[in-house]
Chains A and B, each alone.
Chain A
Amino acid sequence: MILIISDDNRGNWGPTLEEAMHLSETEIVRFSADALQIKPCAACNSCSGKTFGRCIIQDDMQLLLPKIAVCRSLVLVSPVVFGSVSHHIKKVMDRMAALGDPRYRVKDGEIVKGMSRVGMNYYMVGIGDNLNEAECSAFLHLHQENRKIMSVKGQTFILDSRLNRVSLNNIVQEIIHE
């Protein structure tokens, strides 16, 4: 299953991406994070202790966590906000800690962690018109660090509203054929 979680507050990129993927034989599931009620991570540490692997905050994130836990590919679609993702998508990212492996290991000479289920692909699609070099670089840097700390494969894409259909299809092909 390919899971798309998008912030469609400033555009319609999540549904557009979903539509572009509809011919794929893989099941596509999409949620609009901005339409869900998701509270910020409370840093209670319960998911890495008392309720290991389970987030105790009862809100719409409980719809997403079971899907993220089993998906083949996770695609986060967000406006680029100060070189980061929007707060709607960041809330999802912060709460994904419940799905992480709390143990540490060494990879390429550095300490890293990983996800509880090995093999998930993780994509990030940033949306923004007229982004400057620093914004694009920061967005790419964030996703690169995410992939490193989560020990997952994936790619980052940055789109603007002038994007043509061919480019969108190229991104779709990258995701569905991984």
Chain B
Amino acid sequence: MNKSNIMLICASPRHKGTSAMLLERVQVVTGGKIFFLPQRGSLDELVLAMQKAGTIIISGPCYINTYPARLIELLELASIKGNFSGQKLYGIINGGMPYIHTHQHGLICLKLFAEQNHLSWQGGFVLGIGAMLDGKPLEKHMNRKRIVPAFDKFIRNIVEGVQSPNSLYEEAQPPPGKLTTRIFTKFLTFLVVNNLKKYGHDPEAPNYYLRKQEEDKINGSH
């Protein structure tokens, strides 16, 4: 692996979140430069850097079951510009839910992008319950005993330039059992409800946009 030829792309709008933390963990071993996906303006320079890279590693959060819109925009533009020649592509996606299937679409999307644009898909890593880390080290993950060695093996696969199998992250994250599911659901709900109450909001209240339309109707009728 040529360390100077490694490009790491953080697809999160947050520079201190879990996506960036995971990428920094990779970078410590692989070297290379981290590029934060700009949230506005041209993506041309980023595509140019992708064309010149030997290995590309993309890490991003899971929004509505796949990567955020801005990364899709980058992939669309990169596909139009073309000029790829076998660059190795690895993906990392993390989300709040403790299931692989909730987040896995992101990696499938990257794989299809690679296949259609002459890059070489090398596999990826799905991390569940990643949002709770909020940028804290992987050693703070609820399932750290399994996750940490699996993710570090993923990094070794990148260093060796070999395919990283799905089984690596799948075996490290079996779906939670019934009791854990119930406890986790109550715990997460407790956290979000408490947060809303802190700001004086009622979680049971109709959505803001519904309330606003009702208010506008009442005001309009007077």
A40-B39, A52-B199, A116-B207 are known contacts. Are A142 and B65 too (CB-CB below 8 A)? yes
B69 touches A94 (CB 8 A): yes
Number of interface residues of B (CB under 8 A): 57
Distance in Å from the Cβ of A64 to the closest Cβ of chain B? 10
A94 touches B109 (CB 8 A): no
Compute how far the CA of A110 lies from the CA of B161 in the bound complex, rounded to whole angstroms: 36
Distance in Å from the Cβ of A50 to the closest Cβ of chain B? 5
A54 touches B196 (CB 8 A): no
A106 touches B185 (CB 8 A): yes
Chain B residues with CB under 8 A of A99: 207, 209
Does B213 touch A at the CB level, under 8 Å? yes
Compute how far the CA of A90 lies from the CA of B201 in the bound complex, rounded to whole angstroms: 28
B108 touches A141 (CB 8 A): yes
Chain B residues with CB under 8 A of A48: 192, 195-196
Distance in Å from the Cβ of A141 to the closest Cβ of chain B? 6
Within 8 A of B (CB), among A34-70: 39-43, 48-54, 65-66, 68-70
Say which one of B28-36, B98-106, B150-158 lies at the interface with A: B98-106
Distance in Å from the Cβ of A113 to the closest Cβ of chain B? 9
B70 touches A111 (CB 8 A): no
Q: In the complex, which of the residues A43, A96, A99 has the most CB atoms of chain B within 10 Å of its own CB atom?
A: A43
A82 touches B14 (CB 8 A): no
Compute how far the CA of A107 lies from the CA of B108 in the bound complex, rounded to whole angstroms: 25
Distance in Å from the Cβ of B3 to the closest Cβ of chain A? 28
A149 touches B102 (CB 8 A): yes
Within 8 A of B (CB), among A103-149: 103-106, 109-111, 116-117, 134-135, 138, 141-142, 145-146, 149
Q: A39-B39, A41-B13, A97-B64 are in contact. List 5 more A-B contacts (CB 8 A).
A: A98-B207, A105-B189, A117-B207, A149-B64, A149-B97
